[in-house]
Amino acid sequence: MHRLIAGQFRRLRMTQHTFMVIVAVVIGLMGGFGAVFFRYAIRFFERIFFGSWQYSLDYVLQLPWYIKLFAPAAGGLIVGPIVHYFAREAKGHGVPEVMESIVLHSGVIRPRVVIAKVLASAVSIGSGGSVGREGPIVQIGSAIGSLLGQLLKVTGSHLRTFVACGTAAGIAATFNAPIAGALFAMEIILSDFGISRFSPIVVSSVVATVVSRHFLGNFSAFTIPRYELVSIFEMIPYSLLGVLSAFVALGFILILYKTEDLFKRLRFPDVLKPAFGGLLVGGIGSAFPHIFGVGYDTISLALTGKLLGYLMLFLIALKVIATSITIGSGGSGGVFAPSLFLGACLGGAVGMVVHTLFPTLTASPGAYALVGMGAVASGAMHAPITSILIIFELTNDYRIILPLMIACIISVLITTRLKKDSIYTLKLSRRGINLFQGQEVNVLHSLQVSKVMKTKFEQISPDTPFRKLIDLTVSSPHSNFFVVNEKSQLIGVVSIHDIRRILYDSDTLESVLVASDLMMPVEQFFFPTDTLDIAMNAFGKINMDELPVVEPENGQQLLGTVAKDDVIDAYNKEILKRDMVTSVSGQIGSMGKFKRIELMDGQVLCEIEVQGAFVGKTLKELNLRSRFGVEVVLIKQNFNAEKNEKQHVMTPRPDYRFKFGDSILVMGSQENLDKMEALN
């Protein structure tokens, strides 16, 4: 079946852009239907656990205490086995797993994740778990995009774009916000605003929104009254709200991961931990059911000013604890909706105080609740653009945009200053995964001048006559002649441009001019071990197409030259090579062993099992790049071979110490790989 689909798309692939847009439409449709199905799945489990198809806060408040106490625990009994035995990726809030797949696996996500995430998250939310539906729908949509890309056998960069298309489709369908969906995918998932990826992501977002509106109606996620900036004085309390939002976001991140650590240390079967966590959440929810589920009813009450100030402050603490327990114990659900909950309660409380003190100069508390939603979310995610646009699309009102922008930016400035990782990236950092490690902005930083150095160049002595310089100008392909002394040490350079300027006077100057008369001092030279980014920077400052390479320990003895065109060519090859490696390693990262894959330019991708000389040493100590000229692409860590545990694929870390059973995915020439294997 997938061959037939792939064949149909190949016939339609008039251009690469057309192909990407067509697939983006399909992903948008599938992502939109996935979001709608997920919403109905949540309602189905709400009916099972709470007895109503129309779940609401008013309805739950009237339920007996024992239902509110035990419903989340019963949901945990179902979620635990799904996550533990079927797909570990379904645990938690989902977005970090998508980011990990983009970086480590080139966008490859296992198809079973769709089923596991739908079931686990729908049960968690439907039974009262204090989590959101946005994180799960991101993972569901991303898995759909990845699955379609794998069926069509696209390259790594295109597969990553399809994953982002699924992300955009899920967010857009959930919030009825197509612009925010596209920006979420580009700002958080890809961290890339490249125009080549923008078109298909926007197409998927729009198509998913159309599907969502058809089935769920053209309604915003919240019913929001119209707000406006009453006076310029309000920018002061809105700025203060941005500061408070930053510290609430930081507290949320801290408590969430501390709770995860606490549950990891519990001597308790992992498969039963979600049930235990659900019982604790049920204990909180039996008295304050506001914290159950996504909490949109409570957010709406804060937006309309129907909650008391002290209650909203109390709910902030309860929601942080309940969400941390749900996720930390192994439940499945997102953290974006809880961030909106915290922001609405914080903003509503601040708004009540401000409006009570200055009733004629300030808007109603609901306006502050709305701005607080965006400020806490942007602080937690480190994504101000997405947060601003989501709130803007929820209101469809430009008048609230100024305080919203100020509060969001202040919140992000503080949180990024105090904590490098967001609520999403911290989960990966704690696993030892640095999203930006190895993804150098300047790929030339890892290449040395010796890689492109030419040993054929024009070398002349200081007393070379002008007549010979004219002959060299005509016959030599080089534009610079390097002047050396009797010890082959570089002392200057003669440019053909200087020679051409005096050609008309050659009859009178031919007998008296020599190379030293035209020689210019060498403003820039390199050592063989210098990196090519230094060379490219020098070419940008000096009007020369060829620069000398000298011996660092022998009085600047001329060894060769490096040309600007060769540096540019090396850059292009490195970009292509890295893209190929990312594509291939993403496909094989979770597979068993393979032999060798030919890449390009004589490079080979090979998996080598770690033995003998490498065991007990770190990558930094082994220094494989300098010793053998090979690049370590991935490390496949075998936690416990005796228990037949699955290998964990990780990015190379200089401090990682190898153990028996580990293997490494390396890239290099066949000769260098053979040398390394012989030592190993």
Rg of the chain over CA atoms, in angstroms?
A: 31
Give the pLDDT mean for 433-440: 52
Q: What CATH number should be reported for the domain whose range is 589-679?
A: 3.30.70.1450
Structural contact between residues 667 and 633, judged by C-beta atoms closer than 8 angstroms: yes
Give the pLDDT mean for 249-266: 90
CATH class of 2-216: mainly alpha
Confidence at residue 84, expressed as pLDDT on a 0 to 100 scale:
79
User: Smallest Cα–Cα separation from 253: which of 430, 372, 380, 384?
Assistant: 380
pLDDT band at 591 (very low <50, low <70, confident <90, very high): very low
CATH superfamily for domain 445-567:
CBS-domain (3.10.580.10)
**Cα distance between residue 128 and residue 297, in whole Å:** 13
Q: 574-587 as b/e, with b when 16 or more CB fall inside 10 Å?
A: beebbebbbbbbbb
3-state secondary structure of 495: strand
Structural contact between residues 203 and 24, judged by C-beta atoms closer than 8 angstroms: yes
Confidence at residue 441, expressed as pLDDT on a 0 to 100 scale:
42
Give the pLDDT mean for 564-586: 65
Which tops the pLDDT comparison, 390 or 509? Answer: 390
Residue 271 identity: V
Give the pLDDT mean for 273-291: 90
Question: How many other C-beta atoms can be found within 10 angstroms of the C-beta atom of residue 132?
Answer: 27
pLDDT band at 12 (very low <50, low <70, confident <90, very high): very low
Note the pLDDT tens digit of each residue in 502-554.
766 666 666 677 777 777 887 778 888 787 777 777 776 777 778 888 887 76
Burial of 209 (0-12, 13-18, 19+ CB in 10 A): buried
**Cα distance between residue 608 and residue 680, in whole Å:** 9
Residue 557's DSSP bridge partners are: 489, 551
Give the pLDDT mean for 141-150: 86
pLDDT at 220 over 70: no
Question: How many other C-beta atoms can be found within 10 angstroms of the C-beta atom of residue 660?
Answer: 13
Confidence at residue 280, expressed as pLDDT on a 0 to 100 scale:
93
Question: How distant is the alpha carbon of residue 587 from its chain centre?
Answer: 18
pLDDT at 44 over 80: yes
Question: How distant is the alpha carbon of residue 543 from its chain centre?
Answer: 38
Structural contact between residues 224 and 189, judged by C-beta atoms closer than 8 angstroms: no
Between the alpha carbon of residue 670 and those of residues 604, 614, 666, 680, the distances in Å are 6, 20, 11, 15
Give the pLDDT mean for 18-43: 88
Q: What is the pTM of this model?
A: 0.67
Structure-block tokens of residue 112: 């079973």
**Cα distance between residue 380 and residue 358, in whole Å:** 30
Cα atoms in the 13 Å half-sphere on the side-chain side of 490: 29
Structural contact between residues 111 and 147, judged by C-beta atoms closer than 8 angstroms: yes
pLDDT at 86 over 70: yes
pLDDT at 650 over 70: no
Q: Are strands 459-460 and 480-484 parallel, antiparallel or unpaired?
A: parallel
* In the chain, domain spans: 2-216, 232-429, 445-567, 589-679
Which tops the pLDDT comparison, 169 or 653? Answer: 169
User: Smallest Cα–Cα separation from 131: which of 371, 277, 295?
Assistant: 295
Number of H helices, E strands in the chain: 28, 10
Structural contact between residues 488 and 555, judged by C-beta atoms closer than 8 angstroms: no
Q: Are strands 663-669 and 603-609 parallel, antiparallel or unpaired?
A: antiparallel
Note the pLDDT tens digit of each residue in 633-648.
777 766 544 444 555 6
**Cα distance between residue 358 and residue 248, in whole Å:** 25
Rounded to a whole number of angstroms, the distance between the first and last alpha carbons of the chain is: 44
SS3 of 429-471: HCCCCCCCCCCCCCHHHHCEHHHCCECCCCEECCCCEHHHHHH
% of the chain surpassing 90 pLDDT: 14
pLDDT at 190 over 80: no
pLDDT at 244 over 90: yes
Q: What CATH number should be reported for the domain whose range is 232-429?
A: 1.10.3080.10
Note the pLDDT tens digit of each residue in 373-385.
999 999 998 888 8
**Cα distance between residue 236 and residue 73, in whole Å:** 44
Give the pLDDT mean for 609-626: 75
